[in-house]
Amino acid sequence: MNGVSEARSPQAAPVPSPGRGRPRAFAPSGRAQLAGVGIDVVDVPRLTAMFARTPALRDRLLTPSERGLSDASRAARVAAKEAVGKALGAPGDYSWHDVTVERTVDRRPYLVLSGAALEAAEQLGVAHLHLSLSHDGDIATAIVVAERGAPAADDASIDRGER
């Protein structure tokens, strides 16, 4: 031996677990509990310019609690509202104010639905809405996954910081 560790023989190599190293398809299933998925992107400067030109548009798209946010955060809220509409199959009488993005104490975003958006979610059997928001540079994006199932007991699982 010259200070170099001895090479392992092929028999000493770890045995791969079943499926390891082989591709696996993740195709949609008829048993899936997803009611829908929506995604949207918003150009932050374009939306900001639209709000400057037409202040009533800001009021039509955003709830009072959303209007005072940064430009990027407002754009992410608009993207979230669009993504919810897509996830729920674009309910016909859907209003922008039917969807509000709130945050938990630890700053995780969640959705509050009312009106036609809530009715559409209930008709689809939606129990949970998963929301991801992001903004980078001039683009804000939102993804919403609508999941069927039993709803949490009066949504007590959300810590809104209310005491």
pTM value > 0.85: no
Measured CA to CA, the distance from residue 51 to residue 45 in angstroms comes to 10
Would you say 82 is a known binding-site residue? yes
Q: Which of 136, 133, 150, 87 is nearest to 113 (CA)?
A: 87
Pick the CATH number of 32-150 from 3.10.450.50, 3.30.70.890, 1.10.10.10, 3.90.470.20: 3.90.470.20
Q: pLDDT value at position 4?
A: 44
Q: pLDDT value at position 163?
A: 37
Instruction: At 101, list the tokens.
Output: 């993005």
Q: pLDDT value at position 29?
A: 63
* Packed helices 71-87 and 44-53: angle between N→C axes, nearest 10 degrees: 100
Would you say 59 is a known binding-site residue? no
10-residue mean pLDDT series, the chain (163 residues): 43 52 73 87 98 96 94 97 93 87 94 94 93 96 91 55 47
